[in-house]
């Protein structure tokens, strides 16, 4: 295995570890829908911003496999097949597609030659749009199905996450932009 492959695998492992570390921060229940405020999605944002479609999807797929085999890698230490079909499963599956979706959308906006991601403002906008459309969309659709709720009611419940997620997108984009500016 060559040097850059080892380096990339090490970086991917660090991001996988970050997903697990962020799961240790307790969830905050919102009350009206069975979906809490979590910090773990900041790690998914960083993975999407910095790893690209292939490596980002691979890290998220390994994370989903860890959940599937029962490892307690979700916020509050939950995991297992029940988590992958439970009320919050739509959000977790959306996380799997987020790195590829970000890479796809990033192809349509200007980017500096050789840059990992578009500039701060475009990256912020793309990650925020993906959160509102892909994550909230799939999350609400599955929640509506499982909890026999109206989709629009479920989606509206997600508005409770908007202020916090906006701050998380800001933090993830700031950190990713700083890392990108230091990587040749
Ligand atoms: C789980 O641990 O079961 C997944 C929780 C998903 C929470 C979603 S992710 C998008 C939105 N922002 C939050 O802070 N919480 C929800």
Stated pTM of the model: 0.96
Q: How far is the CA of 177 from the centre of ligand 1 (A)?
A: 24
- Give pLDDT, residue 180: 92
Domain locations in the chain as residue ranges = 3-182
In a mutational test of the pocket of ligand 1, which residue from 35, 37, 96 has the highest number of ligand atoms less than 8 Å from its CB? 35
Q: How far is the CA of 127 from the centre of ligand 1 (A)?
A: 15
User: What CATH fold (topology level) applies to the domain 3-182?
Assistant: Arp2/3 complex 21 kDa subunit ARPC3 (1.10.1760)
- Give pLDDT, residue 71: 98
* Ligand 1 shell residues, CB under 6 Å: 35, 37-38, 41, 74-75, 83, 88, 91-92, 135, 161, 164-165
- Give pLDDT, residue 126: 98
Q: How far is the CA of 142 from the centre of ligand 1 (A)?
A: 13
- Give pLDDT, residue 33: 93
* Three-class SS of the chain: CCHHHHHHHHHHHHHHHHHHHHCCCCCECCCCCCCCECCHHHHHHHHHHHHHHHHHHHHHHHHHHHHHCCCCCECCCECCHHHHHCCCHHHHHHHHHHHHHHHHHHCCCCCCCCCCCCCHHHHHHHHHHHHHHHHHHHHHHHHHHHCCCCHHHHHHHHHHHHHHHHHHHHHHHHHHHHHHHHCC
The stretches in the chain having pLDDT less than 70 are: 184
- Give pLDDT, residue 113: 85
- Give pLDDT, residue 130: 98
- Give pLDDT, residue 115: 85
């Amino acid at each position: 295995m060559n040097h850059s492959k080892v380096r990339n695998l090490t970086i991917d492992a660090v991001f996988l570890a970050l997903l697990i570390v962020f799961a240790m921060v307790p969830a905050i229940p919102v009350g009206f829908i069975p979906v809490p405020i979590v910090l773990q999605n900041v790690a998914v944002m960083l993975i999407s911003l910095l790893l690209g479609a292939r490596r980002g999807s691979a890290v998220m797929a390994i994370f989903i496999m860890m959940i599937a085999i029962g490892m307690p890698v979700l916020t509050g230490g939950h995991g297992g097949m029940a988590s992958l079909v439970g009320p919050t499963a739509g959000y977790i599956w959306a996380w799997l597609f987020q790195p590829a979706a970000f890479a796809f959308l990033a192809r349509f906006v200007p980017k500096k030659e050789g840059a990992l991601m578009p500039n701060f403002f475009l990256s912020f906008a793309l990650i925020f749009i993906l959160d509102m459309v892909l994550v909230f969309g799939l999350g609400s659709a599955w929640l509506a199905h499982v909890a026999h709720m109206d989709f629009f009611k479920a989606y509206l419940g997600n508005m409770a996450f908007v202020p916090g997620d906006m701050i998380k997108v800001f933090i993830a984009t700031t950190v990713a932009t700083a890392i990108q500016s230091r990587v040749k």
